[in-house]
Amino acid sequence: MSKQMKMGILGLLLVFPSFLVLFVIVVIPIVISFKESFRNKSGGYDLSNYTYLFTDKLMRSNIIFTLEVTVISVILVLIVSYALAVYMRFNDGPVVRMIRRTYMIPIFIPSVIATYGLIQMLGNKGWVAKFLFLAGVETMPRIIFDMKGIIIANLWFNIPFTTMLLGSALSGVPNSIIESAKDVGAGGLRIFFKFVLPLTYKTLLVAITFVFMGVIGSFTAPFLVGPNAPQMLGVSMEQIFGVFQEKELAAATAFFTFLLCSVMGYFYIRTMIKEEGARS
């Protein structure tokens, strides 16, 4: 047996445990959910669950609401995170040092506690409402328990991790490129769009993928600070399965959510394959 073949077998043996865990906890549940999603109430198989998913007014509004929250959250997270990462990369001083020491704190706060904190701060009788009352504002504008509350929670959960990813990519941008561009008269926006953004595009796509999948499948924040209707798909799925005991419809909702994530994953993998092919 050649050395190359031995190394190949060793590589397969090292990968096999991870693949086995992935197969058991991901692939098998997806296959089971896919099968259950086609089962009707009489025990047969048809498309009735998917038909209900797209024809029922409430379910359609849940899907649209979920996509709206996800897209808005992803855009806002990327804008804020990229701005923070760029600011920390190309600036220095006490403000930058303070941001570097504190921006990771939300990662270490459990989502339930963070969501409860948002309720205590932004609720009708929260801290902000009390300060506004002292300032003469008797009615607190509604911030949580609707789309805004979910988006605020998503910003809190996703900005630190996304900033860390983008900051790591920006640290790999050579200072010589920036200085050379400045020497020939390039402005800040031109440097960003011509050099910084192309050099961090791959990491940006990774961040978009992670935030998209994290938001679209979220449950804690939408359940605690979201509206009663429409609902995010994760909350709607729990209601269908736990309250109404319709596991087939819940399976169809789960598989549809998986398909949405798969579409995002497909574009990410396709872009990475194209980039690797261009390099080779």
Model confidence over 155-207: pLDDT tens digits?
999 999 999 999 988 888 888 888 888 888 878 788 888 888 888 888 888 89
Write down the pLDDT at residue 1: 63
The C-alpha atoms of residue 106 and residue 161 are separated, in whole angstroms, by: 9
CB-based contacts of 254: which residues, under 8 Å, 6+ apart?
Answer: 33, 37, 237
Fold of the CATH domain 56-279 = MetI-like fold (1.10.3720)
Express as a percent the part of the chain with pLDDT over 70: 98
Write down the pLDDT at residue 126: 81
The two structure tokens encoding residue 257: 């959510």
Write down the pLDDT at residue 278: 59
How many other β-carbons are positioned within 10 Å of the β-carbon of residue 49?
Answer: 22
Domain locations along the chain = 56-279
Residue with tokens 């006490």: 94
**Are 215 and 151 spatial neighbours (Cβ–Cβ below 8 Å)?**
no
Three-state secondary-structure class, residue 136: coil
Q: What is the phi-psi region of residue 185: left when phi exceeds 0, alpha when psi lies from -120 to 50, beta otherwise? A: left
Q: At how many degrees (to 10) do helices 201-216 and 247-279 cross?
A: 180
Write down the pLDDT at residue 276: 66
Write down the pLDDT at residue 177: 82
The C-alpha atoms of residue 50 and residue 220 are separated, in whole angstroms, by: 25
Low-confidence residues in the chain, pLDDT < 50: none
